[in-house]
Amino acid sequence: MLFGRLRDVFQTLRFRLMLWVTLVVSLITLAALLTVHQFVYNTLLNEFDQRLKDDIGEVASSIRQNPIGPDLHHALNVKARNHSLRGWFVQLYDADHNLIWATDDAPNIKHALLYSDRLMALEEGPLRIVQSRFEPPSRPAVIIRLGSTMESVIEDIDLLNWIMILAGASILILAPVVGYLLAGRALRPLAWIIATTARLQPKKLDERLPVRGTGDELDQLSRTINGMLDRIAAHLGSSNDFIANAAHELRSPLAAIRSSVEVALDRLRTPDEYAALLVDVADETSRLGNLVNRLLLLAEGDAGRLEGADQTAQLDGIVRESVEMFGAVAESVGVEIEIAQLDRASVPGDDFHLRQVVRNLLDNAIKFTPPEGRVHVSLQADVSHEMATLVVRDTGIGIPPEDLPRIFERFYRVDKSRQRQSGTGLGLAICHAIVNALGGSIHVESVQGKGSAFTVVLPMQRSVEGKSGSSAAA
């Protein structure tokens, strides 16, 4: 239990950040302390050596003034006793390195340094020694060796060591504590994000993560998650609207069928009356079937099943065939329909779906164009950019500018009173879903009272494309 809790704590980001902070601070502190220690030690030693070298200079000038004899011995012994450096001593050697004289209590040192004539300092156990060759005028050369115990330096270094150990230990204790507190403070917004995200429910997506306005990574994370929540909420909202609208649209043909059946059952009727009622039922059933098919198509689009990437459709054939099919309808309402340009274009996609796109656009164009109006269709293949552009242009009633941005939404219909025939408001949404799934785009330009132009751009199949340049009128 306790072990489990500890393991949970060890796994936290806070704990790991604390460890990193402690590690980095400890390494930096260790390096800094070692550098300072070395620097202070060198400085103390240099000062110590400098004092000994100054003393050598003084002894040399005494030798220059007095010959080596009792007076000099006395003076140097007094100096040795009163010197501020503990264990200070002088030894004088002749040029052959034989000891001539030494102050009282001078240690007996046998060392290679003796054979060097340069001014140099050396550590000899607890002693620091300097030595120099001196040639007094018109007298034989003397080697002056001078030294002292290093106790004062060692004491200073010991004190420095203690201070450093205390400083290091305090930093080692404080680093994890401060690191843990700082990490907790830095990660507090993350805890809010986790708590708020845990509270979110699919049915209640109105809560958003707090943005503190600092612009740091955690604010960016909150903004990103909020953006994602906005998109999910919008998606859920439109799905709910879609279901509600679909139910609503399904209800009217069902109600019509039910009422026709009820009228038929109400009393005995003539065969002609039954026939008329059955025709109504058949009409409503086909409307219902049509609606269900459209809804299924949109559902397929939502499920990402409209891609049809492994199939190829001959778009020019579909356009020609659809225009021919709508020719009679157009003629019956006094609208002229013609193909202005028809390039050969094969596009990746399913025949059935592409037919839906072309037919929806033609159907709308004829539906919303008054008699004596015209519908122009053109299909242009841009081989260099591998793009096929289909334009369906009419001289119809046009679409008000305020409706244009919503025209491809599901169930969206411009003022229903304009509708000459009943519509579901799904045709353009289906076109949009299919074209998007095929990697293309669809857009509309429209001037109210003058007409509309729907443009579909689709990527072409990479195979050979030729321009037939044909034009046809239906």
Going from the C-alpha of 420 to that of each of 282, 328, 410, 425, the distances in angstroms are 21, 18, 19, 13
Query: Is residue 260 involved in binding ligand ADP (CB under 6 A)?
Result: no
Number of chain positions touching ligand ADP (CB under 6 A):
22
Structure tokens at 114: 């003796």
Residue type at position 250: L
What's the CA gap between 276 and 48, in Å, rounded?
A: 125
Q: How far is the CB of 330 from ligand ADP (least distance, A)?
A: 13
Closest CA to 432 of 403, 459, 408: 408
Going from the C-alpha of 309 to that of each of 318, 344, 385, the distances in angstroms are 18, 19, 19
Q: How far is the CB of 395 from ligand ADP (least distance, A)?
A: 10
What's the CA gap between 358 and 338, in Å, rounded?
A: 14
Closest CA to 420 of 355, 335, 327: 335
Closest CA to 375 of 357, 386, 362: 362
Contacts of 342 (CB under 8 A, 6+ apart): 316, 319, 320, 377, 378, 379, 468, 470, 471, 472
Contacts of 68 (CB under 8 A, 6+ apart): 92, 100, 101, 142
By beta-carbon proximity to ligand ADP, the closer residue of 106 and 426 is: 426
What's the CA gap between 100 and 112, in Å, rounded?
A: 18
By beta-carbon proximity to ligand ADP, the closer residue of 126 and 405 is: 405
Q: How far is the CB of 412 from ligand ADP (least distance, A)?
A: 6
Q: What angle do CA 298, 311, 351 make, to 5 degrees?
A: 55
Closest CA to 337 of 391, 390, 374: 374
By beta-carbon proximity to ligand ADP, the closer residue of 188 and 418 is: 418
By beta-carbon proximity to ligand ADP, the closer residue of 389 and 424 is: 424
- Taking a C-beta distance cutoff of 8 angstroms, is the pair 354, 390 a contact? no
By beta-carbon proximity to ligand ADP, the closer residue of 143 and 391 is: 391
Binding mask 348-387 for ligand ADP (x = CB under 6 A): ------------x---xx--x-------------------
Q: DSSP class of residue 33?
A: H
Residue number, nearest CB to ligand ADP: 423
Q: How far is the CB of 408 from ligand ADP (least distance, A)?
A: 7
By beta-carbon proximity to ligand ADP, the closer residue of 22 and 360 is: 360
Q: How far is the CB of 360 from ligand ADP (least distance, A)?
A: 6
Within 385-444, which residues bind ligand ADP (CB under 6 A)?
Answer: 394, 396-399, 407, 412-414, 418, 423-429
Q: How far is the CB of 325 from ligand ADP (least distance, A)?
A: 17
What's the CA gap between 407 and 417, in Å, rounded?
A: 16
By beta-carbon proximity to ligand ADP, the closer residue of 389 and 452 is: 452
Q: DSSP class of residue 361?
A: H
Q: How far is the CB of 282 from ligand ADP (least distance, A)?
A: 21
Q: How far is the CB of 235 from ligand ADP (least distance, A)?
A: 20
Q: How far is the CB of 374 from ligand ADP (least distance, A)?
A: 12
What's the CA gap between 144 and 385, in Å, rounded?
A: 97
By beta-carbon proximity to ligand ADP, the closer residue of 132 and 364 is: 364
By beta-carbon proximity to ligand ADP, the closer residue of 187 and 250 is: 250
The total number of residues written for the chain in this structure: 474
Going from the C-alpha of 183 to that of each of 13, 22, 27, 186, 471, the distances in angstroms are 8, 12, 19, 5, 73
By beta-carbon proximity to ligand ADP, the closer residue of 15 and 412 is: 412
Q: How far is the CB of 437 from ligand ADP (least distance, A)?
A: 17
Q: How far is the CB of 411 from ligand ADP (least distance, A)?
A: 8
- When binding is defined by CB under 6 A, the residue of 322, 378, 452, 461 that contacts ligand ADP is 452
What's the CA gap between 276 and 278, in Å, rounded?
A: 5
By beta-carbon proximity to ligand ADP, the closer residue of 310 and 415 is: 415
Binding mask 103-122 for ligand ADP (x = CB under 6 A): --------------------
Residues near ligand ADP (CB under 6 A) are 360, 364-365, 368, 394, 396-399, 407, 412-414, 418, 423-429, 452
